[in-house]
Structure 1
Amino acid sequence: MSLLNLQNLSLVLSVDLFRNLSLVVGEGERLGVVAANGRGKSSLMRVISGELEPTDGMVTRARGLKTGVVPQYVPQDWLDITLYNVVLGGLDEDAQMHESWRVDIILDDLSVPQDMRDRAMRHLSGGWQRLALLARTQIAEPDLLLLDEPTNHLDLEKIALLEGWLNDLPRSTAVIMCSHDRAFLDAVTKRTLFLRPENSQIYALPYSRARLALDEADAADARQYQKDMKTAQQLRKQAAKLNNIGINSGSDLLVVKTKQLKDRAEKLEDAAKPAHLERSAGVIKLAGQSSHARALVVIDNLDVVTPDSRVLYKTGRLWINPGDRIVLLGANGTGKTRLLTMVRNVITGVELESAALKATPSLVLGYSDQALSELNDKFTPLETIIRRFDIGDQKARSLLAGAGMNIDMQGKAVAHLSGGQKARLAMLVLRLTHPNFYILDEPTNHLDIEGQEALEAELLNSDAACLLVSHDRSFVRNTGNRFWQIVKNKLVEVESPEPFFEVAAQTAG
């Protein structure tokens, strides 16, 4: 049964987001929507939900269709409400009185601990808040569930939990989700929509397989375009030769033939379409400087401790060499970020070196965390750059434009930028720092897939070393060449992240 029918849908909001999009969504649909940041994913979801009118085209919904939209953030007036009551608010008044047991069932399905249910939303982690919003939406049993970046703020265990929960939804429930998490899309979707300003592409495949098909189609389009343009050029050369001969001989037939060749060339050029070039919200390019030190960081039986000196785990003897891309694995709350902080503090001189933790003096640190704390929300992007780097106003504006920020954005306070724009600004700051050692804590948060791939490529092509934490399985698999795992009270080196991923999935199950 068809739940939703989009016919020749177009949306223009200062720029063309998409045109002539046609899509049918049926019962049980599992559709992933993929596009660069700022290219219309959230706007398409708003059109589907009825919150936004399209510029052109038609949206036809099944009679009585109930659509559930999971908000990205907790509304301010919900922050002091308990998790349980926020979910209960997803039911109508009569159901709240007589069917409150449904709240316990859905919270059990999402493995929400009993003590967590009575906590106010403001006292929950971002991950638990996201699951609470999801539960509130789903408890109303919508026919169509709309999810916008559902894995943001979730750790690996909660992502695995969400995957299992989505796959266990009633078969009739349709789900449309926008996400930059490639492994998540592969696990929960069956169709993929690549949203484009022109000629959006839909494949009846999960993301990775659909991406291969899309790349092949784009490559074929590029070859055809080159072939058509080459043919048109040859026709114009032939027309020029015939024209000269016709003028010299006075032949009307050759003049007519010349015009025919020119007309064919023009038609071919008009019909030829260049292959799609994804223009994301800006180019991410890191620029490192080399270090000739043999060991950049030496960790010798370090006690990783909380700020109040409680020991979390011991490291044993470890070292980081040029070119190492070390991924730190461990459950939430085990102290991954604490080790990053301790290494960072020694490199920057906030803490003195000790026998247990030493860093070579030649290190230039590039740092980014999931809260993007290196950015000051009160500064504009332009101020962020010119206050830190002596490059001049004009150069700063040019670099910001290359990072996807137009003149208007450059003058807005960082607090008013989207998550994706902030992430790209943070990447630009990293680039201008010219580091040879990166500490990255959830660097792909808010980055679109193209941005993630660009960051991966830069890390792979750089001699700089990297110590990172990430819940993005694709990013970890593509970038890491060494893996340190927190096992009970010890930090040990492991060959692969896959056993850790499998345990996280089993724990969620």
Structure 2
Amino acid sequence: MITANNLTLMRGGDVLFESSELQIFPQHRVGLVGKNGCGKSSLFALMRGQLQADTGNLQVPSKWRIASVAQDTPALDQTALDYVIDGDQPFRQLQRKLSEAEKNGDGHLIAELHDQLGAIGAYDIEPRASSMLAGLGFTQTQLKNPVKSFSGGWRMRLNLAQALMARADLLLLDEPTNHLDVDAIFWLEDYLKRFPGTLILISHDRDFLDEVCTDIVHIEHQRLNSYRGNYSQFEAQRAEQIAQQQSQYEKAQAMRQHLQAYVDRFRYKASKAKQAQSRLKAIEKLPLQAPLRAQSDIDFRFFEPQQLPNPLMSLRDAKAGYGDTIILDAIKLNLVPGTRMGLLGRNGAGKSTLIKLLSGDLTPLAGERNVSNGLKIGYFAQHQLETLDLAASPLLHLQRMDATASEQSLRDFLGGFGFSGDFATRAVEPMSGGEKARLALALIIYQRPNLLLLDEPTNHLDLSLRDTLVTALQDYQGALIVVSHDRHLLRTTVDEFYLVADKQVQPFNGDLDDYHQWLQQQAAADTKTERKSSITGKNDRKQQKRVEAELRKALAPLKNKVKKYEDQITRLEQQLTEIELQLEDASLYEEQNKGQLDTILARQAKLSNELQDLEQSWMEAEHNLTEKQQAIEQQGSA
């Protein structure tokens, strides 16, 4: 069992949690939730022994094996399959001992080691790893590819698979769905529900938490608060607690006012002085109750569109792609006011390409894209944050869009997105990714779009902000097209699904559960095809070489962009590590060094924000690279 007693942890002078108690029982699956920056990742570092508590203690059983996802993946020549099998350290240890025993000709030890390997199921380890990689989206042919041949996003999937292969007593997963599409998320849910050890995961995916978790630990107001049940059950329990807290506060305030009224009336009257003094003491003894705290100061809505032409846009036998590469063919869509469409499809099938075609960022390679007069598109792209002027403030962004609006009206609008007071006039550059995402949404909403195109809009948003976005989208009166791996967002905001697969865009007759079944059928069909191909041994080398040459030529600029971001991230992480070492110097916290400490903390905050933005840019570049790579591979295999 994991226990925390009187636990306090500070980072850079900020208290993350203090005087907290916690118990996590073996084989429970715990969701760790809370606002960004509340200390979730730091709690993981405590459990791994990478941080020390400031007061109190956190105890993890000493014999427990802990596994978590590596953040870096070296460019190895080792195959993807072997890299993942490395996660099973007991197997690798026995394998090394067996190799040594065979060299020494120690027959007795060889027999003993074979027995031990059999006892841990070592002889089915390759099928187990292969099945795991297939669930995470890898094809059978990719398993023999070297690790260095994969892009960063796919390497993160390899790291996740390696962590899942570990025979862990405690598995720590920090946002494991960030690099996954919906089909891989479905697989991971099923896997984690069968995981025999203790699981603690950080996630902003409500459906994922609901499916996997048996308990929730919520970090709020510098406390660790435990709840039994999944995320939806946690919300219900917490809402009841908040209601009780508010009721107690109101009762205490009423009693306080009643007693104070008596004191104010009679405190200077001699015959009532003792009673007044008695009531003053009663007021002092009343328990201090906190009023209900608002969950968030962010509450926005979409404006009613100024026009709703019908239809808004139509595609007629349109083709979409890049250069000579056709990704989508014969697209037929008719978007009218009230359209609320979610796009489904495997990673790289062309969902983002379709969104770009609808937005006008891509011109049809053939066919027609017809738009109505009065069409106004609001497009939230995966790279949307890069379009912001880092030197400008939120207020200046809006003033550039509407020079006739009063400053107060613009400030009132920005206040709904959390940009109030001086925050509205600060530069965008030091803002976090979540703050930039809110600003990008604000700029889109202000334009009163009648067609809203959203491509992964929740990547930077925590759970409370996702809920705010869902509420706003439910009231939106224009047409809506959404690409998202957030199933709660899809379930609650769209009325119909379209499937993007095999270069086609077709209505999908079903819901997300039906899509899950479709994915399973596709995976089974793919496995059957790959096995058949493996048995026949037929392979068109000329075609393969052509595809590889085309891949290298087309992907070089995208790979260079990904590499640039990775190098920048590495440099920032090194600088942050140096700052953390500086902050361990106790003399920094003495009064005479306050100025130096403030400078270091400010630099740490600035670098952390820069790192978060770079990581998002890296993720977006990775997505574009993967989509382009899979599109070319599909074309080559057609």
Q: What's the TM-score once normalised by structure 1's chain length?
A: 0.83
Structure-2 change in CA distance of 1:110 and 1:444 (3 Å): same
Match of 2:179?
A: 153
Match of 1:233?
A: 257
Distance in 1 between residues matched to 2:428 and 2:214, nearest whole Å: 39
Cα deviation digits, residues 330-349 of structure 1 (max 9, x gap): 2333322121111101xx7x
Larger Rg: 2
Give the AA of the match of 1:380: L
Distance in 1 between residues matched to 2:79 and 2:437, nearest whole Å: 31
Match of 2:114?
A: none
Match of 1:137?
A: 163
Distance in 2 between residues matched to 1:154 and 1:89, nearest whole Å: 22
Match of 1:116?
A: 142
* Structure 1: segments with no counterpart, 5+ residues: none
Task: Map residues 285-300 of structure 1 onto 2, 5 A cutoff.
Answer: 285=300, 287-300=302-315
Distance in 2 between residues matched to 1:188 and 1:356, nearest whole Å: 45
Structure-2 change in CA distance of 1:138 and 1:352 (3 Å): closer
Match of 2:24?
A: 25
Match of 2:84?
A: 87
Q: Is the 8 A contact 1:157 1:508 kept in 2?
A: no
Distance in 1 between residues matched to 2:421 and 2:452, nearest whole Å: 24
Give the AA of the match of 1:187: E
Match of 1:278?
A: 295
Cα deviation digits, residues 237-268 of structure 1 (max 9, x gap): 1222232xx52xx32xx112112222322332
Distance in 2 between residues matched to 1:85 and 1:412, nearest whole Å: 44
Residue of 7, 10, 14 corresponding to 2:8? 10
Cα deviation digits, residues 413-439 of structure 1 (max 9, x gap): 47xx65545533433443455433321
SS class of match (1:301): strand
Distance in 2 between residues matched to 1:404 and 1:64, nearest whole Å: 50
Match of 2:444?
A: 430
Match of 1:259?
A: 277
Deviation at 1:193, TM superposition (A): 1.2
- Quick one: higher RCO (CA 8 Å, sep 6+), 1 or 2? 1
Q: Is the 8 A contact 1:9 1:54 kept in 2?
A: yes
When structure 1 is superposed on structure 2, of 226-235 and 397-406 the one drifting more is: 397-406
Distance in 2 between residues matched to 1:123 and 1:283, nearest whole Å: 43
Task: Map residues 210-225 of structure 1 onto 2, 5 A cutoff.
Answer: 210-225=234-249
Give the AA of the match of 1:457: T
Q: Is the 8 A contact 2:132 2:161 kept in 1?
A: no
Structure-2 change in CA distance of 1:403 and 1:167 (3 Å): farther
Q: Is the 8 A contact 2:302 2:473 kept in 1?
A: no
Q: Is the 8 A contact 1:382 1:397 kept in 2?
A: no
Give the AA of the match of 1:106: A
Q: Is the 8 A contact 2:321 2:365 kept in 1?
A: no
Give the AA of the match of 1:500: Y
Deviation at 1:448, TM superposition (A): 0.9
* Structure 2: segments with no counterpart, 5+ residues: 99-116, 525-638
When structure 1 is superposed on structure 2, of 196-205 and 302-311 the one drifting more is: 302-311
Deviation at 1:231, TM superposition (A): 1.8
Q: Is the 8 A contact 2:215 2:230 kept in 1?
A: yes
Structure-2 change in CA distance of 1:446 and 1:463 (3 Å): same
Deviation at 1:190, TM superposition (A): 0.5
Task: Map residues 383-462 of structure 1 onto 2, 5 A cutoff.
Answer: 386=396, 389-390=399-400, 399=414, 402=418, 413=429, 419-462=433-476
Deviation at 1:508, TM superposition (A): 6.5
Task: Map residues 168-247 of structure 1 onto 2, 5 A cutoff.
Answer: 168-169=194-195, 171=196, 173-243=197-267, 247=269
Deviation at 1:106, TM superposition (A): 2.4
Match of 2:635?
A: none
Aligned length: 485
Cα deviation digits, residues 197-237 of structure 1 (max 9, x gap): 24543221011122112112211211221121122112211
Distance in 1 between residues matched to 2:375 and 2:42, nearest whole Å: 43
Match of 1:337?
A: 352
Residue of 363, 380, 401 corresponding to 2:390? 380
Deviation at 1:355, TM superposition (A): 7.2
Structure-2 change in CA distance of 1:461 and 1:260 (3 Å): farther
Match of 1:471?
A: 485
Structure-2 change in CA distance of 1:387 and 1:335 (3 Å): same
Quote the sequence identity (%). Answer: 26
Distance in 1 between residues matched to 2:45 and 2:162, nearest whole Å: 19
Distance in 2 between residues matched to 1:437 and 1:156, nearest whole Å: 25
SS class of match (1:8): strand
Cα deviation digits, residues 130-166 of structure 1 (max 9, x gap): 3311222233322111001111121111001111221
Structure-2 change in CA distance of 1:461 and 1:144 (3 Å): same
Cα deviation digits, residues 440-487 of structure 1 (max 9, x gap): 111112311101101111112232332111121111111113332346
Distance in 1 between residues matched to 2:164 and 2:62, nearest whole Å: 20
SS class of match (2:490): helix
SS class of match (2:57): strand
Deviation at 1:494, TM superposition (A): 4.0
Q: Is the 8 A contact 2:39 2:219 kept in 1?
A: yes
Distance in 1 between residues matched to 2:523 and 2:243, nearest whole Å: 40
Distance in 1 between residues matched to 2:485 and 2:421, nearest whole Å: 27
Deviation at 1:10, TM superposition (A): 2.2
Distance in 1 between residues matched to 2:483 and 2:358, nearest whole Å: 13
Match of 1:504?
A: 519
Deviation at 1:177, TM superposition (A): 0.2
By percentage of residues, which structure has more helix? 2
Q: Is the 8 A contact 1:285 1:431 kept in 2?
A: no
When structure 1 is superposed on structure 2, of 19-28 and 81-90 the one drifting more is: 81-90
Give the AA of the match of 2:50: E
Structure-2 change in CA distance of 1:217 and 1:331 (3 Å): same
